[in-house]
Amino acid sequence: MPKSLRGGGGSVLGGAMIQLLRWKMEPEVFASALDAWRARWRRQEGAARPGLGRRRATELARRRIKWFRSVNHLESIPRSHVALESGAGWLEPDQEDVRIVVLPDPADAAGALEVGTELAGRRGPSARKRIRRLIHQVELERDGRRIELLASRRRRRRGVPALGEDRSDGVGRMRALYLESLGAAIIPRLEEDEVSLLEDAGAIVLENKTVALVDTPKGEEVTPDEMPWHLKSVSIEAAREKGLTGKGVTIGILDSGIDPSHPEFKGKTIQFQAFKVTGEVRPLKRPKDYSTHGTHVAAIAAGRTVGIAPDANLVVAAVLNRRDDGRVVGSLAQILAGLNWLARGGGELASGVDVVNVSLGGPLADLGYYQTISGYRLRGSTLVAAIGNDGTKGMGHHQVPGKFDCVIAVGAVDAASQVAGFSDWGECFSHPVTTSTFKPDIMAPGVAVISAVPGGKYEAKDGTSMACPVVAGAAALLIQSNPSLRGNPDELSRQLLGLTKPLPAQASGYDARRGGSGQLDLASI
């Protein structure tokens, strides 16, 4: 930092300070200077009473930010965060700055790798209580620099820690949003040598790549039938005759959000959280859908009239909430932060959601991403994912996470039980590699599926995105019928894939591996 910007601990309204703030410095430079000032204030004011030093540093920082904005005629500057333990401030990182660090052992959340530091008390089922005081800490020495992977204490009632970094006193210290349900952490602004240190310690470092909705063409506005075809096609009457409506079961939706005011969700309690590209929580006063996709998907799973499991609870993570070249997209950090939040029950349910619908994807078939999803399943969470809509390009264009062996992948059929031309298929991704198997696992209605869209309307949409929540809803019915399936994804998957009927004769040139175990059929539920 330039010597002239190092600042002192004198009066915040002193003449030198005002002169400094009148400089037309870039906000990034100001933020960097603010970091140094805050560290000095903490040392000066908190030598005897550390708590007082933190409070004083925060007070002075707020006053300097106010003056900087005033003398530079700025309505706002890029947001400065405060790391909960160090008090260090920094500008919010861009998507490209963020890295996902997959911790060395996928069994870490079961306490298998004891390299811990303190972890604030966490709510959750007994399977996760064993890590209440464990978190991965990578601590290495290279040229006198120490790198630490730490977790900030959770914000009260928010359930998600802050991102942060503190480089005072010549020490590189990275503060992470720790995803305990995935065995991973999200860290801002890693330098190449820091990445090398983490990789040398056995971690896998992933770029924060873009993830998109599984593309669906714009739907046609329609009036819903009394019994939409997708419900008839899966023999929903058999489930209703047994009183199976999803009551007492919770479905997580990882998507673009939801319009909770739609009549399909009348009287339903919906938990909602939006996430930023950095994985942080995006504060919102009320739930919203950044597209129409999330509302459509959620209603297929649990809508009052068009849903497979109309009495199921919904917990919605809005992780795709910006547009790029006409597409609704998000980031890998958003996806993983949303999954972690869902596993923790949206911050309110003690045991997390029972099944997660993932109607999104991307070409991210690498070991690190696979390890996070595999670990998620090992901790008792069942993921149902759309296989993708690039089937017209031929085999092998299916998307992640649908191609992973640890999720239930869903393809699409039409009203005549013909496999949709857009429905993807191909080899599954597993580690270690086993005998070659194919995805999808199961087929469900995915052509002209009528469901809700924001504004109280209905549209008919095509896509494996629509087939996916049909299967997620069916999983909820199975859990209601047999509560022992809760937290048992292996047995739930086995029983779900057993609720199928063979596909009829398909078009010439059809690849039988494209249809999975057959089409979902609840006749024998």
Instruction: Quote the distance between the C-alpha of residue 264 and its chain's center.
Output: 24
Cis previous bond, 106, omega within 30? no
Handedness of CA 213, 219, 223, 225 (dihedral sign): negative
CB atoms closer than 10 angstroms to residue 2: 9
Distances (CA, A) of 81 to 274, 341, 386, 522, 524: 18, 21, 36, 51, 55
* Share in percent of the chain as helix, strand, coil (round to 5): 30, 25, 45
Which residues have C-beta within 8 Å of that of residue 450, sequence separation ≥ 6? 222, 224, 225, 228, 229, 230, 306, 458, 459, 460
Q: Are 320 and 256 in contact (CB under 8 A)?
A: yes
- Both tokens of 221, joined, read 């506005």
- Both tokens of 416, joined, read 């005549």
86 in catalytic set: no
- Both tokens of 412, joined, read 């699409």
Burial class (CB in 10 A: 0-12, 13-18, 19+), 458: buried
Q: Are 363 and 404 in contact (CB under 8 A)?
A: no
- Of 136, 230, 262, 293, which is the active-site residue? 293
Q: Residue-wise over 366-398: b if at least 16 C-beta within 10 A, else e? A: eebbbbbbbbbbbbbbbbbbbbbbbbeeeeebb
Q: Are 140 and 172 in contact (CB under 8 A)?
A: no
405 in catalytic set: no
Longest dimension (CA), the chain: 84
| Rounded Cα–Cα distance for residues 467 and 122 (Å) | 35
152 in catalytic set: no
User: What is the H or E stretch that residue 412 is in?
Assistant: strand 408-413
**Pick from 338, 363, 496, 513: which is nearest to 429 by CA?**
363
Radius of gyration, CA atoms only, the chain: 25
Residue with tokens 């003690």: 350
Torsion of CA 57, 63, 69, 75, to 10 degrees: 100
Residue with tokens 């319009």: 259
- Both tokens of 146, joined, read 């120490």
User: What is the H or E stretch that residue 53 is in?
Assistant: helix 50-71
Q: Are 410 and 404 in contact (CB under 8 A)?
A: no
- Of 351, 374, 465, 493, which is the active-site residue? 465
- Of 166, 255, 405, 414, which is the active-site residue? 255
Active site residues: 255, 293, 465
